[in-house]
C-alpha cells in the first residue's frame, strides 16, 4: 500500500467544509503539480456563486485598479497591486510559519465571483505558504483587522491556462485578516536526536514528553485519533494538526512506517517526539510531489484508540 501523509490517511477527518470550494490552497500553486496529500486546489472553482450582500458592486477586476480610478494603490516589485480598504488594529504581520484566519471574495477579470468565504458565512483558515504566491505576498503586508483589495497578476495566481477548473488570468480579491494563528515552534533538538533518546532496531529514535495513563497500545489494524506537528531538520514546519486546531484520525496501516512503529509504542495520553530517518518516512527523494525529504521530526499526542 502506498504510504500517505499522516493527514491524508483519512480525508474525511482532516478536511473541513471550506475545502469544498476554496480555490486558494495549493502548495507551489505556480508549479507543475501540487502535492497529492493536499485537497483539490480548485474544487468548486467552476461553480459560480452570487457576490455577498455587503459587496454591492464588484471591484475593478478587469484591470489593475489604478487604471479604473482606484486611489492609493501600491505596487510591489513582483507586480502585485493592493489597496487598504479598512485599516487594521494589529501590529504584527503574518510570517511563513503562521496560519491565518480570513474572510475573502475573489473575482475574475469579467467581474465574476468564483469563491467567497463571506458568501459561505464561515471564515477560512490556512497556512501562509499554502497559497498562491499573490496571496502569500499580500498577507505579509497586512495586520489583524485590515481589509485589503488585491489585484493579482496571472503569474502570481494560477496562470493563464490553469488545470482542474482554476480561474485563469489576473484575479482580484478582497481579503480581511481576522486572526494570525502562530504555528508550533520547532523543538530545540530538531536537527538530531539527543543522546537521551531511545532508538529501535529500525533506526527510529524517540523520547516521551508526557506519559499517558492508557493501558493498551494500538495495533496495526487500529485507527487512532492524534494531534501532531512535523518538522524537517532545518526547523521548517510542514504539517500540523495543532495549527489547524483539529485532531486527525487514521489507520496505522495507512501511514509511513515511522508513524506505524512509533504509535505502537504509545498508550492513550502519551505525547512523544520521534526522529524518523528517511527510510521510515518519505525517503531522500520522495516520489510523492511536495513530500518532505530526509529525516523528519514529529511530536505526536495519542488522544484515542478507536
The residues assigned a catalytic role are: 228, 238-239, 256, 282, 298
Rounded distance, CA 125 to CA 135, Å? 13
**Measured between alpha carbons, how far is 126 from 145 in angstroms, rounded to an integer?**
17
User: Count of residues for the chain?
Assistant: 306
Q: Is 237 helix (H, G, I), strand (E, B) or coil?
A: strand
What backbone phi and psi angles, to 5 degrees, belong to 17? Answer: -65, -20
63: region left, alpha or beta (phi > 0 left; psi from -120 to 50 alpha): beta
Residues 230, 6 contacting (CB under 8 angstroms):
yes
**With contact defined as beta carbons under 8 Å apart, do 106 and 171 qualify?**
yes
- 60: number of CA atoms within 13 Å, CB side? 13
Say if CB 112 and CB 200 are below 8 A apart.
Answer: no
Q: CB within 8 A of 204, min separation 6: which ones?
A: 258, 261, 262, 274, 275, 276, 277, 280
d(CA 115, CA 45): 7
Distance, CA of 184 to CA of 124 (rounded, Å):
19
Measured distance CA(166)–CA(159) in Å, rounded: 9
Radius of gyration for the chain, computed over Cα atoms and rounded to the nearest angstrom: 21
Among residues 82, 65, 183, the alpha carbon closest in space to that of 141 is found at: 82
Amino acid at each position: 500500500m502506498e504510504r500517505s501523509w499522516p493527514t491524508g490517511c483519512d480525508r474525511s477527518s482532516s478536511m473541513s467544509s471550506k475545502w469544498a470550494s476554496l480555490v486558494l490552497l495549493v502548495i507551489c500553486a505556480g508549479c507543475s503539480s501540487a502535492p497529492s496529500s493536499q485537497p483539490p486546489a480548485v474544487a468548486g472553482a467552476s461553480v459560480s456563486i452570487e457576490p455577498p450582500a455587503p459587496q454591492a458592486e464588484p471591484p475593478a477586476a478587469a484591470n489593475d485598479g489604478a487604471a479604473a480610478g482606484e486611489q492609493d494603490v501600491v505596487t510591489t516589485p513582483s507586480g502585485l497591486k493592493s489597496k487598504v480598504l479598512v485599516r487594521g488594529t494589529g501590529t504584527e504581520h503574518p510570517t511563513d510559519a503562521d496560519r491565518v484566519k480570513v474572510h475573502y471574495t475573489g473575482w475574475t477579470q469579467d467581474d465574476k465571483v468564483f469563491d467567497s468565504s463571506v458568501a459561505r458565512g464561515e471564515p477560512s483558515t490556512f497556512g501562509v505558504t499554502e497559497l498562491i504566491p499573490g496571496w502569500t505576498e499580500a498577507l505579509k503586508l497586512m495586520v489583524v483587522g485590515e481589509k485589503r483589495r488585491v489585484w493579482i497578476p496571472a503569474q502570481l495566481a494560477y496562470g493563464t491556462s490553469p488545470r482542474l477548473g482554476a480561474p485563469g488570468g489576473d484575479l482580484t480579491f478582497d481579503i480581511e485578516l481576522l486572526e494570525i494563528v502562530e504555528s508550533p515552534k520547532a523543538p530545540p533538538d530538531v536537527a538530531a536526536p539527543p543522546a537521551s533518546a531511545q532508538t529501535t532496531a529500525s533506526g527510529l529514535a524517540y523520547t516521551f514528553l508526557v506519559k499517558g495513563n492508557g493501558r493498551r497500545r494500538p495495533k496495526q489494524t487500529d485507527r487512532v485519533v492524534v494531534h501532531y506537528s512535523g518538522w524537517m531538520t532545518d526547523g521548517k514546519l510542514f504539517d500540523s494538526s495543532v495549527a489547524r486546531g483539529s485532531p486527525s484520525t487514521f489507520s496505522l496501516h495507512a501511514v509511513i512506517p515511522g508513524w506505524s512503529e512509533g504509535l505502537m509504542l504509545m498508550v492513550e495520553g502519551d505525547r512523544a517526539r520521534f526522529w524518523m530517518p528517511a527510510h521510515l518516512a518519505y525517503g531522500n527523494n520522495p516520489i510523492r510531489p511536495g513530500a518532505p525529504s530526509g529525516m523528519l521530526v514529529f511530536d505526536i499526542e495519542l488522544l484515542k484508540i478507536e
